[in-house]
Amino acid sequence: MSAMLALLLRDLRLAIRHGGESLMPLVFLFAVIILVPLGVGPGPNLLAAIAPGMIWVAALLASLLALENLFRPDHEDGTLEQWWLGHLPVTGLVISRLLSHWLVTGVPVILFAPLAAQMLYLPPQSLSVLMISLLIGTPILSLIGGLAAALTLGTNRGSVLLPILVFPLVVPVLIFATGAVAAAADDLPVRANLGLMLALLVLAITLVPLAATAALRLNIE
């Protein structure tokens, strides 16, 4: 646990030191909020209808930002190989790296989502569901993105392959999340959508660290 915490704190310090990269998730969020209304019009009803999708697209784009450098720098300088030479559990280190990715890319979107929702005229009764969906769904984005980053580590064009691998896998998350927020706006039950998202999160937490560890091992052998 101490090694996992040390790696997590190191990654967070590096993210803070590179302040521009840390602010990119918020830049994507507010860029989407500002630019999309310019194309579709400023009508409150229309913006309220598309607000969940816009916020979730921003969250997805933010999660893709740091995936290329999630494991590649450690692979290039030999640090990744040292993970297997030491006595520490590699899966735990992978979990720590994925957690740091979520803290840097997912948490800022969650914190500023209420402001974005207000700017997009999202109904007040939908805000709590939006926050819950982001809290459940953004870790899934980081987990799936981390697996994709591990699988493409040995390729020269990983940045091109990452979206191709990630987008199909996260489509169910986006569908359930936006469906839950839309149902809340119409005063309909949302437990089914949120329950399915929670099931996906449990499945991702259970399988992705092990799969990502195996993919990393294949790339260093």
How much is the pLDDT for 127?
A: 92
- The tokens for 95 are 């979990």
How much is the pLDDT for 21?
A: 61
Name the domain count of the chain.
1
Rounded Cα distance between 149 and 67, Å, is 6
Is the C-alpha dihedral spanning 101, 102, 108, 113 positive or negative?
positive
pLDDT in tens, the chain (221 residues): 676 777 777 777 777 776 556 667 777 777 877 887 777 777 788 888 888 888 898 888 888 877 877 888 778 777 788 878 777 788 888 998 899 889 888 888 898 889 888 888 888 889 999 999 999 999 999 999 999 988 888 777 656 788 888 889 999 999 999 999 989 988 889 999 999 999 999 999 999 999 999 988 887 76
How much is the pLDDT for 116?
A: 86
Residue 186 per-residue DSSP state: T
Please report how the helices 90-119 and 44-65 are oriented relative to each other, as an axis angle in degrees rounded to 10. Answer: 160
- The residue assigned the tokens 């580590």 is 153
How much is the pLDDT for 135?
A: 95
Q: How far is CA 125 from CA 61, 94, 118, 178, 180, in A?
A: 26, 37, 12, 14, 12
State the residue range of the domain holding 55. Answer: 2-220
Q: Cβ atoms within 10 A of the Cβ of 108, count?
A: 21
Q: Is the pTM of this model over 0.75?
A: yes
